[in-house]
Amino acid sequence: MVGKGDIALTDIRELAESRTVEELTAETRDVDTAASAASKAGAEGIGDKTYEPAKSGAEDEPDGPKCERDKDTKKSQTWKRVAKAALRWAAAVAFGVVLAGAGYEGWLLIQQHQKDVAAAQALDAARKYAVTLTSTDPNAVDQNFTDIINGATGEFKDRYTKAGSRLRKMLIDNKVATQGTVVDSAVKSAGTNKVEVLLFVKQSVSNSTAPAPRTDLTAVTITMEKVTNRWLASKVVLPGERGA
């Protein structure tokens, strides 16, 4: 007989079997829960992970846009070098032009200076020669002729030499005495070796028939040429001898 406090074997077996079933059910449920959680975690992990493809040698080569940028950079650098070279060339050409211009201007200045020097020298020689040409002394006719011939060249020297004997006789026979003075002068044209000078000469003239001197003002054009560092008269144009 079993009391209230005693547990029958059948009850114990049933309890054991019941607990076993419940525990198995609980374990099965726990396993399912854990598997579900693991599956979910795995799925989330795979979804969150960034997929990185395996690197290969192909990635070492530049991609399309980068290659284009590199090409543009190279082109830009090339154009910069070309532009710099062009600027240097242009600067060299400009410098050469400046030097050439400066050299030409310098040459012009030298030429002008040489002309100015020649003009001053020829004008001084012409003034002196005009006095020699317009001054005569009946007692020194031969010396007058010698001085005139020595100061002449070219056309005028030939012409005066040919007329010398006739002029000499006239001056001596008429006792002609003259004295010339240059009152004004100017250079008409000038080169480095040839200068044309205009002179205004005041000349007093007396002779045997008119002993009282009379004064004339005469314009004389003399062309002076440089011959062996001397300025000589190559052409003399007196009034009445225009174009002679």
Q: What is the DSSP string of the chain?
A: ---TT---HHHHHHHHHHHHHHHHHHHHHHHHHHHHHHHHHHHHHHHHSPP-PPP-GGGGS--HHHHHHHHHHHHHHHHHHHHHHHHHHHHHHHHHHHHHHHHHHHHHHHHHHHHHHHHHHHHHHHHHHHHHHT-B-TTSHHHHHHHHHHTB-HHHHHHHHHHHHHHHHHHHHTT-EEEEEEEEEEEEEE-SSEEEEEEEEEEEEE-SS--S-EEEEEEEEEEEEEETTEEEEEEEE-TT-TT-
The Cα 204–Cα 202 span in angstroms is 7
Q: How many Cα neighbours within 13 Å face the side chain of 88?
A: 6
Confidence of residue 3 (pLDDT cuts 50, 70, 90): very low
Average pLDDT over residues 179-189: 95
pLDDT given for residue 4 in this prediction: 45
Q: Of all residues in the chain, what percent carry a pLDDT higher than 90? A: 40
pLDDT given for residue 198 in this prediction: 95
Q: Is the pTM of this model over 0.95?
A: no
Average pLDDT over residues 219-228: 95
All domains of the chain in start order, with CATH: 110-237 (3.10.450.230)
pLDDT given for residue 135 in this prediction: 93
Average pLDDT over residues 161-179: 89
Q: What is the pLDDT of residues 60-110, one digit of tens each?
A: 545 556 666 666 676 677 777 777 777 777 777 776 777 676 676 777 788
Cβ atoms of residues 232 and 149 within 8 Å: no
pLDDT given for residue 50 in this prediction: 47
Confidence of residue 1 (pLDDT cuts 50, 70, 90): very low
The Cα 206–Cα 235 span in angstroms is 26
Residue-level length of the chain: 244
Higher pLDDT, 192 or 78: 192
Of 20-29, 123-132, 200-209, give the lowest mean pLDDT range.
Answer: 20-29
pLDDT given for residue 211 in this prediction: 87
Sheet holding 194-206, edge to edge: 177-190, 194-206, 214-227, 230-237
Q: What is the pLDDT of residues 5-42, one digit of tens each?
A: 444 445 545 544 555 545 545 555 554 555 555 555 55
Q: What is the pLDDT of residues 46-62, one digit of tens each?
A: 444 444 554 544 445 45
Cβ atoms of residues 178 and 170 within 8 Å: no
Average pLDDT along the chain: 77
Tokens coding 123: 């004008």
